[in-house]
Amino acid sequence: MTPATPLISTLETFLRLTESREKAVSANMANIDTPGYQTKDINFEDEMKRALNGTLSQSADGSGGAEFNPVAQEVPGLMERPDGNNVSLDREGLLMSETQLQYQIGIQLIKSSPPTWPMPKPRTLKPVGHSGAVKSFSSRPAPRISAWPWPTREVRAGRPPAACKSLK
């Protein structure tokens, strides 16, 4: 297991919070035709502050460990339809896009953070190839070949290459 740095822990909390908010927005969209349903949302800023301050709830299994459970609350001040439902598909679509963008930013920040595991020592690469040719770098030696894949000076001059003479 890799040790978690404070940055990674904070970003992990950020991602969990965006996931919880996306679930709340999805539930709102799913209940758009439910009579009397009231829109619920997570106050992202307050929940993030609560998580960073360490005021987390106890875990549900009673093990005593702290667990992050954001609280979804009804959103006041939204216009209700005659059936008592106040879900606005435009508002929920905008919140879903915003939440997905926040999640993608969190993932990019985790990817760009320095690694926390021990890095292997870099291997030294030795140049391989034949003299006069462009050398490539590899950790394995180059295979021995008897002739170049392109014409040598002997072939260009009309003489067979030295490797062909040795085969006779």
Q: What is the pLDDT of residue 145?
A: 53
User: Is the domain of 57 the same as that of 106?
Assistant: yes
| pLDDT value of residue 59 | 44
Same domain, 13 and 70: yes
Which regions of the chain does DSSP assign to beta strands (E)? Answer: 40-42, 57-58, 66-67, 72-74, 126-128, 136-138
* Contact (CB, 8 A) for 49 and 24: no
Question: 133 and 68 in one domain?
Answer: no
| Entry pTM | 0.59
CB 18 within 8 A of CB 103: yes
* 138 and 75 in a common domain: no
Domain assignment of residue 143, given as a range: 126-165
Could you read off the pLDDT of 96-139 as tens digits, one per residue? Answer: 999 999 999 999 988 887 766 565 666 666 555 555 555 555 55
Say if residue 68 is in the same domain as residue 20.
Answer: yes
Closest to 69 in 3D by CA, of 59, 61, 81: 59
Smallest CA-to-CA distance from 70 within 20, 112, 116 is with: 20
Cβ neighbours of residue 5 closer than 8 Å, sequence gap 6 or more: 113, 116
